[in-house]
Structure 1
Amino acid sequence: MKLLHTADWHIGQLFHEYDRTYEHQQFLNWLVETLTNEQIDVLLISGDVFDLSNPSANALKMFYTFLNRAVKSNPALQIVVTAGNHDSASRLESPTPLLESSNIHIVGLVEKDAEGNFVYGKLTIPLKDKQGNIKGWCLAIPFLRMGDYPVIADCENPYTEGVTALYKDAYDYALENKQPGQAIIAMGHLHAQQAEITEQDKTERLIMGGVECISASAFHEDIKYVALGHIHKAQRIGGKEHVRYCGSPLPMSFSEINYNHQVIVFELNDESITALTAIAVPVVIPLLRSPAVHSKLTEVITALEQLPNSNSQAEPAPYLEVRVLLDGPEPALRHKVETSLAGKHVRLAKIDVRYASLTTTDTQPEIVASQNLNDLQPLEVFSKVYQSKYNNTVPPELLQMFNAIAQEATLTD
C-alpha cells in the first residue's frame, strides 16, 4: 500500500494582496497527476486546507473539484483529511455524508458521546488496499482546541499532557481493532518540540505562545508514520525518520524563500514502512528579493533598475520583496520603488524597511525592523503588553485562557 502525505495548502490565501488561485490550481493539477503516476492508494492531508475559516466560494469549489478529479482518476483512492487551525472544523467536515461514498474521510471535530467520552471510532480510519482489504489504521487527529483532549489534573502543562493522552487512547482503540500484518499511522496538526521555524515568519506562529509544543515521544513507538501539518518547512522531528512535517506546497511568506516544498510518499508493507521519499512540488511563481540584503535607497534603486524587463519573459513574473535600509522616514519611498520597477518582469509584493540608528555607545548602526500592526497577532500584542507591564513572560495558564478567548472571538467573527 502506497501513501502520500501533504498539508498546509492554505487555499484562498492572498500573498501580499495577490490572488493565488492560479498557483493553487497548478499544484492541484500536479497532485492529481502525481497520485496517478505514483499509483497512490491513500492520500493524507494534514490540516489547513484553507487559509480562512470561512473560505470563499471559489476556494471551496477548487477543493471539492480536486477531490472529485482525484477519485475519478484513481477510483480505488482513499483520502483522509483533517482540519487545521486555519480551518473551520465543522464547515470542513459538513459534506461528509456525501463524500464518504467516494472513500473520502474528513475529520474536523473531536466528538464525545452522551456520557462525555471521546468517540475514538470517528478518529480511527481503516486503510484499505485496492481489493478492499484493511492494511492499516489511521489515527486521523485534527487540530486540537481546548476541550478536544482529556483533562489531566495536577499536571504542569494541561495541553501537552492532554494531547499526549488523546493520542495514547486513540492508539489503544486502534490496537483493539488491529489484526496481525496491519500497521497504525497517525496524523496531527500541531507544533512539535524541536520543529524548525524562522523567527521572521508570521505564518508559522506558536498557537499558544510555546506551551503547546508536543514532543515526538507523544506518539507511541509502534506508530509507523506520523503525518504532521502546521509547520511549513519540511523536516523530521526528534531525529525520527517516521515523524515528519511534509511542509507547505507553496511558500506562504518571504521567510520561506529557501524552503524545499514537497510531498512525502511511503509504502506500508505489513507492519513496517519502506521506500520513504520526498517529491518536490514544482515552483509556479518564484519569490525574489532585491537587493539580497537591506541596502541604502540609492543602491536599491540601482539594483531594481537592473531587473529584467517584462517584454522579454515568458514565465510568470516572480513576487518581489524590496529590502531597504533607511536613516529616517522616507515619505516617497513606495513611489520611488514603483517608478524604478516600471516595465520590469516582477510583481511588487513587499517593501521591507529597516532603520539604521546610532546609539550613544555604539559606532555601528543598529538595524531595527519596522513592524506593521497588521503583521501582529493578538497573542503577540498581549505578550508584549504583559512583558512591558510586569517585566516577565506570560504564565502558561494565562496564555491558555487568552488563547481560548481569542479563538472564540475569531469563530464569532
Structure 2
Amino acid sequence: MKFLHTADWHIGQLFHEYDRSYEHQQFLNWLVETLVAEKIEVLLISGDIFDSSNPSAASVRMFYRFLNEATTALPDLQIIITAGNHDSAARLEAPKPLLESSNVHIIGMVEKDAAGNIDFEKLLIKIHDASGAIKALCLAIPFLRMGDYPAIADCANPYTEGVTALYQDAFDYAQQYNTDNQPIIAMGHLHTLQAEITDLDKTERLIMGGVECISATAFHPDIKYVALGHIHKAQKIGGKEHIRYSGSPLPMSFSEIHYKHQVIVFDLDQEISDLKAIEIPVSVPLQRIPHQHQPLHEVIYLLEQLPVVDSNPENLPYLQVRVLLDGPEPALRHKIETVLAGKPVRLAKIDAQYPASTKEAQELITAEKLNELQPIDVFGKVYQSRYHSEVPSEIMQLFQQVAEEVNQTAG
C-alpha cells in the first residue's frame, strides 16, 4: 500500500499579520494532485491542522473542502488525522458521526473508561486494501496533554516516561489483535530528542514551558514507520529512516528561507520501501534584503533598486529587511515603507541589529544594587543593554526633564 505523510498545516495562520489563505489553498490543491499522481491509498496527517484551537469558518471550510475533493478524486483513499497542540481535540472530532461511514478517521483525544484506563481501541485504526482486507494497523496517537499518558510513580521524568509507556501499551494492544502479522505504523505530535528546530519551534517550546523531549527508543523497533508532527523542519530522527517529521508545508518563519518543504511518500508491505520526499512548490517566497545586516543608508539604496511593477498581491514575496543601527531610529519603519511604495514585495519584518554589547552592559544587577540606583541610572543601563551605546545627551536631557516633572507631580 502507498502512504503519504504530512503535518503542521496551520490553516488560518497569519505570517507577520498577512493572511495566508492563498498559500494554504495552493498547497491543498497541489496535495490533491499529488495524491492522484502518486496513487496514494493512505494519507497520514500528524496534527496541527489549524493554527488556532478556534479556527475561523473560512479555515474550517477550506479543510473540509479538501477532504471532499481528495475523497472524490480517490474514492478508496483512507485518511487518518490526529490532533496537534494547536488544535482543539473536541472541535476536530466534532464531525466524527458524519464520517463514520467513510474512510476518514479523526483522532483528537485519548479517551478513558471510568477506572481511568485508556481506550486503546479508539486509537487503533485498521487500514484496508481495496478488497476490504486489513493490510496494516495504525497507532493514531494525538498530541498528549497532562492526564492523557500513564502516571509513572517514582520516575525521573513523568512526561517522557509516561509518553513512552503509552506508546508501548498501544503497541502491545495492537499486537493482541494482530493475528495475521500485519505491519504496524504509528503517528505522534511531539518533540523528539535531538530534533533540529526552527526559530518558531524554539519560541513555542518556551511558551509551552520547555516540554521534554521523547527519545526515538520510545517507539517499538517493530513499528514500521512513525509519522511525526510538531517540529516544522523535515527530518529523520535518531538516524532512523522510518522515524520522520514531514515538516510544515509552508515556511513558518524567516529562519526557514532555505528549507525544502515536503511530504513523505512510501510503500508498505511487510516492510517500508521506496521512501521518498516530494518537494512542495513555493507559492509565496521569502526574501531578505540585504542578506547580512548593513547600515540604514545602504539598505535604503538596495530597496530603491527594486523595480516598480504591477503584480498579483496574493503571491508577492514576504520581505525581511535587515539593518544595522547605531541607536534608536524612531522613523525606521516609515522610511522603509516609503521607499517600498509600489515595489513588488510585502514588508513582513524589520530585523534591526545594534553593535556588539560590552561587558559592562552584561553586568548582573542584584536587587540590592537596583534599590541604590536612581531612575536616570536605570534608564542609562536599559538603553545601554538594548542599543549597546551611551545615551545621547539630548535624549538624556529629555529624560531628566520628564523625571523632574514626575517628581513634582508626586510631591
Q: Are the aligned partners of 2:234 and 2:245 in contact in 1 as well (CA < 8 Å)?
A: yes
Unaligned stretches of 5+ residues in structure 2: 362-383, 388-411
208-217 or 119-128, larger mean C-alpha shift: 208-217
Matched, 1:343 2:342: yes
Opposite residue 198 of structure 2, the aligned amino acid is T
The 3-state SS of whatever aligns with 1:310 is coil
- 1:358 Cα offset (Å): 5.4
- 1:205 Cα offset (Å): 2.7
Cα 1:333–1:207, aligned 2, differ >3 Å: closer, same or farther?
closer
Q: State the TM-score, normalized to the length of structure 2.
A: 0.85
Partner of 2:44: 44
Q: Are the aligned partners of 1:41 and 1:76 in contact in 2 as well (CA < 8 Å)?
A: yes
Hey, what's the Cα distance between the residues in 1 that align with 2:155 and 2:3? 37
Hey, what's the Cα distance between the residues in 1 that align with 2:201 and 2:297? 28
The 3-state SS of whatever aligns with 1:101 is coil
Opposite residue 284 of structure 2, the aligned amino acid is I
Hey, what's the Cα distance between the residues in 1 that align with 2:148 and 2:240? 26
Matched, 1:310 2:312: no
Hey, what's the Cα distance between the residues in 2 that align with 1:37 and 1:335? 48
Q: Are the aligned partners of 2:201 and 2:231 in contact in 1 as well (CA < 8 Å)?
A: no
Hey, what's the Cα distance between the residues in 2 that align with 1:89 and 1:312? 40
Q: Are the aligned partners of 1:191 and 1:206 in contact in 2 as well (CA < 8 Å)?
A: no
Hey, what's the Cα distance between the residues in 1 that align with 2:111 and 2:203? 28
Hey, what's the Cα distance between the residues in 1 that align with 2:177 and 2:350? 55
Query: Deviations for 1:86-125, whole angstroms, at most 9, x for unmatched residues?
Result: 0001100111111122210000110001221100000000
Q: Are the aligned partners of 1:203 and 1:253 in contact in 2 as well (CA < 8 Å)?
A: no
149-158 or 180-189, larger mean C-alpha shift: 180-189
Q: Are the aligned partners of 2:200 and 2:252 in contact in 1 as well (CA < 8 Å)?
A: no
Opposite residue 337 of structure 1, the aligned amino acid is I
Partner of 1:104: 104
Cα 1:113–1:340, aligned 2, differ >3 Å: closer, same or farther?
same
Cα 1:60–1:361, aligned 2, differ >3 Å: closer, same or farther?
closer
Partner of 2:53: 53
Partner of 2:283: 284
Hey, what's the Cα distance between the residues in 2 that align with 1:201 and 1:137? 30
The 3-state SS of whatever aligns with 2:205 is coil
Hey, what's the Cα distance between the residues in 2 that align with 1:360 and 1:140? 52
Matched, 1:300 2:306: no
Hey, what's the Cα distance between the residues in 2 that align with 1:16 and 1:63? 22
The 3-state SS of whatever aligns with 1:196 is coil
Query: Deviations for 1:157-193, whole angstroms, at most 9, x for unmatched residues?
Result: 0000000000000000111111334100000000000
Q: Are the aligned partners of 2:198 and 2:233 in contact in 1 as well (CA < 8 Å)?
A: no
Q: What value does the CA root-mean-square deviation take over the aligned residues?
A: 2.0
Opposite residue 101 of structure 2, the aligned amino acid is S
Partner of 1:4: 4
The 3-state SS of whatever aligns with 1:311 is coil
The 3-state SS of whatever aligns with 1:166 is helix
- 1:307 Cα offset (Å): 2.1
Unaligned stretches of 5+ residues in structure 1: 371-413
Opposite residue 170 of structure 2, the aligned amino acid is A
Opposite residue 134 of structure 2, the aligned amino acid is I
Q: Are the aligned partners of 1:354 and 1:368 in contact in 2 as well (CA < 8 Å)?
A: no
257-266 or 208-217, larger mean C-alpha shift: 208-217
Structure having the higher Rg: 2
Q: Are the aligned partners of 1:139 and 1:171 in contact in 2 as well (CA < 8 Å)?
A: yes
Cα 1:8–1:208, aligned 2, differ >3 Å: closer, same or farther?
same
Q: State the TM-score, normalized to the length of structure 1.
A: 0.85
Matches within 5 A, 1:197-346: 197-199=197-199, 205=205, 208-269=208-269, 271-311=270-310, 316-346=315-345
- 1:309 Cα offset (Å): 2.5
- 1:210 Cα offset (Å): 3.9
Q: How many residues align?
A: 365
